[in-house]
Amino acid sequence: EAQVTQNPRYLITVTGKKLTVTCSQNMNHEYMSWYRQDPGLGLRQIYYSMNVEVTDKGDVPEGYKVSRKEKRNFPLILESPSPNQTSLYFCASSLKRGSDTQYFGPGTRLTVL
């Protein structure tokens, strides 16, 4: 089944404890991105990747890192999480660059205490 998977789905952590949220797609998509969703602010793009080893900042990149060593994986790294990063996170992928027909993962609900 074609899909985007994220792990973990739920995470509660404490300020400053490094964490990684994994994202994987099995559709051989070139483009991948991360969004966060907050009440009243909608979905905002954090980082995106056009292809392997090519990443760039979205609208709200502060406090996040990403890497794209393989085409299928695009992990989101929070080196020192803070409470303002408590949010619902979505990974998305699309077949080609510039395509807005994106497939989203199920989401990761992160709480930073």
Partner 1 sequence: DAKTTQPPSMDCAEGRAANLPCNHSTISGNEYVYWYRQIHSQGPQYIIHGLKNNETNEMASLIITEDRKSSTLILPHATLRDTAVYYCIVSRMIYNQGGKLIFGQGTELSVKP
24 binding partner 1? (CB under 8 A) = no
Q: Which stretch binds partner 1 (CB under 8 A): 12-20, 61-69, 73-81, 98-106?
A: 98-106
Select from 10, 62, 69, 100 the one that contacts partner 1 (CB under 8 A): 100
What torsion, rounded to 10 degrees, do the Cα atoms 24, 26, 29, 31 define?
-10
Q: Tell me the C-alpha distance between 32 and 48, whole Å.
A: 6
Q: Tell me the C-alpha distance between 9 and 94, whole Å.
A: 21
CB of 33 to partner 1, least distance (A): 7
1 binding partner 1? (CB under 8 A) = no
Closest CA relative to residue 45, chosen from 30, 29, 62: 62
106 binding partner 1? (CB under 8 A) = yes
What are the structure tokens assigned to 3, written together? 């899909």
Q: Which stretch binds partner 1 (CB under 8 A): 13-21, 41-49, 68-76, 77-85?
A: 41-49
15 versus 99: smaller Cβ distance to partner 1: 99
* Three-class DSSP category at 48: strand
